[in-house]
Amino acid sequence: DRELQALPGLKAMVEMGVKADYLTPEFPSLSYPNYYSLMTGRNTEIHQMTGNYMWDKKTNKLFLIGENEDSLLPFWWNGSEPFWVTMMKNKRNVYMYYWPGCNVEILGVRPNYCRDYYYYVSDKNFSIAASEAIDVLGQGKANLAAVYYERVDVEGHSFGPWSEQRKNATRALDKMLQEMNLKLKVRNVQVTTLIPRGAG
């Protein structure tokens, strides 16, 4: 909470809404099992995304965290239904930017729009995507717009959770959230904003 006081963008969002005190990570406590639990609402043993690196004995295919063609095969993702598939099945329009799995046909469904995931999107590209997301929401083209930002996670894994690199990444995200909040206010776009964090 001390760090939150120095982050006006996140602080404003907390003051306008709610913040969880903690998150109990899924087991195993790895990125993709936790990510897919958040996206599907299911535990690992149900959604079957059991690791960041997996091998399928039947197909001899590998799932590797990051950009890997075989990781885009639907059978890795079909263990449960992520929220964007549920929305599409309910005739809602979904736009996703850099979101892992949005470029996969999951249970026969893709979002209306997906800007493919790639490792470590620049702050500039994230900011552009967030601006486009606000535009499609404001124009009524999308019922949901989701933008994935990986820099905080990458810096935390590389340098540690208390490192200056991770703190700088969080400050950069906060600056972009301030810009996003201002644009929402100026455009008078009423949205619900969620910022999930998958590691607890």
| pLDDT tens digits along 114-151 | 999 887 889 999 999 999 999 999 999 999 999 999 89
Model pLDDT, residue 198: 62
Model pLDDT, residue 199: 59
- Between helices 164-187 and 151-159, what is the axis angle to 10°? 170
pLDDT surpasses 60 at 200? no
Domains of the chain: 2-187 (3.40.720.10)
Looking only at the bridges linking them, the beta strands covering 61-64 and 94-97 are unpaired
Sign for the pseudo-dihedral over CA of 155, 158, 161, 164: negative
Residues contacting 163, CB < 8 A, separation 6+? 155, 156
Confidence band, pLDDT 50/70/90 cuts, at residue 27: confident
Average confidence (pLDDT) over 162-169: 95
pTM comes to 0.91
Q: Which two tokens stand for residue 39?
A: 């996206």
CB 143 within 8 A of CB 136: no
For residue 173, which of 1, 4, 2 has the smallest C-alpha distance? Answer: 4
Average confidence (pLDDT) over 5-22: 87
Average pLDDT along the chain: 91
| Per annotation, catalytic residue among 31, 127, 158, 163 | 31
What strands lie across the sheet with 144-147, from one edge to the other?
A: 113-115, 94-97, 144-147
State how far the Cα of 113 lies from the Cα of 122, in Å rounded to an integer: 20
166-192 burial string, b = 16+ CB within 10 Å, else e?
A: bbebbbbbbebbbebbeebeeeeeeee
- Catalytic residue list contains 31: yes
pLDDT surpasses 90 at 25? no
Q: To the nearest 5 percent, what fractions of the chain are helix, strand and coil?
A: 45, 10, 45
Average confidence (pLDDT) over 58-70: 91
| pLDDT tens digits along 86-119 | 999 999 999 999 999 999 999 999 999 999 988 7
